[in-house]
Amino acid sequence: MPELPEVETIARTLSPQVVKQTVVATRVFYPATVEGFAPLHNLEGAEIVGVGRRGKLLLLQTTHQRKTECTGLALHLRMTGRVFVYPQNAEPNPHTRLILTLQGSLGCRQLFFDDARKFGRARLLTPQNLTHWNFWQTLGPEPLEMTAEMFTKRFTERRRTVKSLLLDQQIVAGIGNIYADESLFRARIHPATQAHHVSLKQLHTLFAHLQDVLLEAIAACGSSIKDYRTARGDAGSFQNAFNVYGRAQQPCLICHTTLQSTRIGGRTTVFCPRCQPITD
């Protein structure tokens, strides 16, 4: 389930494989994958000039196509989306949703977007698509680019639980279930604490740990639970550093108390009842 560190890793590993290559053809195998007002074939003729990330969105930046006003493609991998570059003769598999055929200094290659669960989405970057895309328009700031003051201000005086705010893409972009639970454990904050009951000092601690865990995860090329791979096909290794995610009923690595599992905002939440006391 690609979150910020996984998408960042994909962007970094994909970039050298696609930059300066031209999209010469596109194929759509599952039409619902493409959202918005512009068809995927509007990318044809454009050269990929960069690969970036915004929150959990992977961004392929292309040369501006004046006729279609297209400047790239946004991909949301959701849970099972994968991006790979294959040789010209590679055949689509049953999970292949999109293929961009690339031509350039690296020869003819194919950029595959595979997605078993069909939750992933692609959207062309055009003025109309961006204007009418509420998710894009309301997406919160990047956690690795915001200040501690920006972060804490978004959590104070809110009654929602601190975990649901961490997962809210309008509050902070790019955090999913893994890094929400891991940063709350490190900060020793119970995930069900209402945000207005978390002290300013605790919020600063949470922000510092959130940045730490994201940077460590990026350095480890992300967390591979099941589906996630880099754009080179490698697994990440940060799953080996989890303190709580996926460890319900196992002993806390700090105090050996049995880790508890609950549901917050519809998501499985694992925490240590001793290290993360409830404060209310």
Per DSSP, what are the bridge partners of residue 35?
A: 123
Least separation, in Å, of the C-beta of 194 and DNA? Answer: 8
Site for DNA contains 1 (CB under 7 A): yes
Residue numbers 138-177 binding DNA by CB under 7 A: 159-161, 164, 167, 169, 176-177
Per rule CB under 7 A, is residue 186 in the interface with DNA? Answer: no
Positions marked catalytic: 2-3, 56, 267
| CB closer to DNA out of 126 and 161 | 161
3 binds DNA (CB under 7 A): yes
55 contributes a contact to DNA by CB under 7 A:
yes
Name which of 249, 215, 221 is nearest 237 in CA terms.
221
Cβ neighbours around 191 below 10 Å, total: 24
β-strand partners of 76? 57, 121
Show the tokens assigned to 29. Answer: 């195998």
Q: How far is CA 254 from the centre of its chain?
A: 28
Residue 194 DSSP code: B
The region of 16-24, 75-83, 102-110, 216-224 touching DNA under the rule CB under 7 A is 75-83
- Return the sign of the alpha-carbon dihedral for residues 220, 142, 23, 113: positive
Residue 188 contacts DNA per CB under 7 A: no
Using CB under 7 A as the binding rule, whether residue 92 contacts DNA is answered as no
Binding test (CB under 7 A) with DNA, winner from 78, 188, 197, 204 = 78
Give the tokens for residue 237: 């290794």
Q: Is residue 265 a contact residue for DNA (CB under 7 A)?
A: yes
* Window 110-139: residues binding DNA (CB under 7 A): 116-119, 134-135
SS3 state of residue 41: helix
> Other CB atoms closer than 10 Å to residue 107's CB: what's the count?
10
State how far Cα 195 lies from the chain centre: 24
The residues of the shown chain that bind DNA, judged by CB under 7 A, are: 1, 3, 32, 55-56, 76, 78-79, 94-95, 116-119, 134-135, 159-161, 164, 167, 169, 176-177, 226, 265-268
